[in-house]
């Protein structure tokens, strides 16, 4: 796989790709332009890392309530969704990176639902001992993770990527609201968002719907 292909699979600009893997920007440029050729061992290392950083979707069917599993705090008992997620984190008491709707909540771009049951996350498979927890993957690059008050969650770009990749099992309400909020607080612009080519067409449809909503 060529460097350009790896970068495009991630939906990264050359600058983002260089920062993610701690490679000089000029080196990335030269590799892609063919001015220089990366060593084979570098290609192999990057391919493995890119594969790890790409979504590792482990769930294709959403869980239903199981009385044998442990229950987590309910959103309906909280006025503040971030406080709810803090208590969820305390109950789980092991490393967890919130994803999808929960990540949008952490970012302040989605207010959540009063009857929230599904909790999207990256972490160990042991997390599924709790009702409602969906593990997207066991590992995620630190580059795709943000932290606030002890809570870890995926970045906006990674969250958007995960949403488009999991649309067949995800209620897209949270994504629509989050992207709409991004648009309205970013000068009516989607500048800064990166989407892998595989999901560009679907993202363009999302953008069109949001722009038409604001124009009306």
pTM above 0.85, yes or no: no
d(CA 138, CA 161): 17
Contact present, 72 and 130 (Cβ < 8 Å):
yes
Give the pLDDT of residue 199. 86
Q: Give the residue extent of every domain in the chain.
A: 3-53, 75-215
Buried b / exposed e along 13-24 (16+ C-beta atoms within 10 A): ebebbbebbebe
Give the pLDDT of residue 19. 84
Give domain 3-53's CATH superfamily. lambda repressor-like DNA-binding domains (1.10.260.40)
Phi and psi torsions of 151, nearest 5°: -100, 130
Give the pLDDT of residue 165. 87
Size (the chain), residues: 216
Give the pLDDT of residue 214. 76
Instruction: Supply 129's token pair.
Output: 């001992």
Give the pLDDT of residue 17. 87
Give kind and range of the element (H or E) at residue 120. Answer: strand 119-122
Mean pLDDT for back-to-back runs of 10 residues, the chain (216 residues):
85 83 93 93 89 65 92 94 96 96 96 90 94 91 93 96 89 94 92 86 91 79
Give the pLDDT of residue 67. 96
Give the pLDDT of residue 60. 61
Give the pLDDT of residue 58. 61
Instruction: Supply 168's token pair.
Output: 């067949």
Give the pLDDT of residue 22. 87
């Amino acid at each position: 796989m060529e460097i350009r292909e790896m970068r495009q699979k991630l939906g990264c600009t050359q600058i983002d790709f260089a920062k993610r893997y701690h490679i000089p920007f000029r080196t990335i440029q030269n590799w892609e332009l063919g001015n220089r050729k990366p060593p084979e061992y570098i290609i192999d290392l990057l391919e493995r890392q890119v594969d790890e950083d790409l979504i590792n979707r482990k769930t294709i069917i959403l869980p239903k309530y199981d009385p044998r599993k442990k229950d987590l705090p309910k959103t309906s008992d909280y006025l503040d969704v971030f406080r709810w997620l803090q208590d969820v984190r305390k109950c789980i008491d092991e490393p967890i990176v919130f994803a999808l709707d929960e990540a949008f909540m952490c970012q302040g771009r989605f207010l959540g639902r009063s009857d929230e049951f599904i909790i999207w996350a990256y972490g160990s498979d042991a997390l599924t001992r709790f009702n409602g927890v969906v593990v997207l993957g066991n590992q995620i690059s630190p580059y795709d993770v943000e932290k606030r008050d002890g809570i870890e969650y995926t970045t906006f770009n990674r969250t958007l990527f995960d949403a488009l990749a999991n649309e067949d099992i995800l209620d897209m309400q949270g994504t629509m609201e989050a992207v709409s909020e991004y648009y309205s607080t970013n000068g009516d612009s989607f500048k800064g968002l990166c989407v892998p080519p595989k999901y560009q067409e679907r993202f363009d449809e999302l953008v069109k719907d949001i722009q038409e909503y604001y124009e009306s």
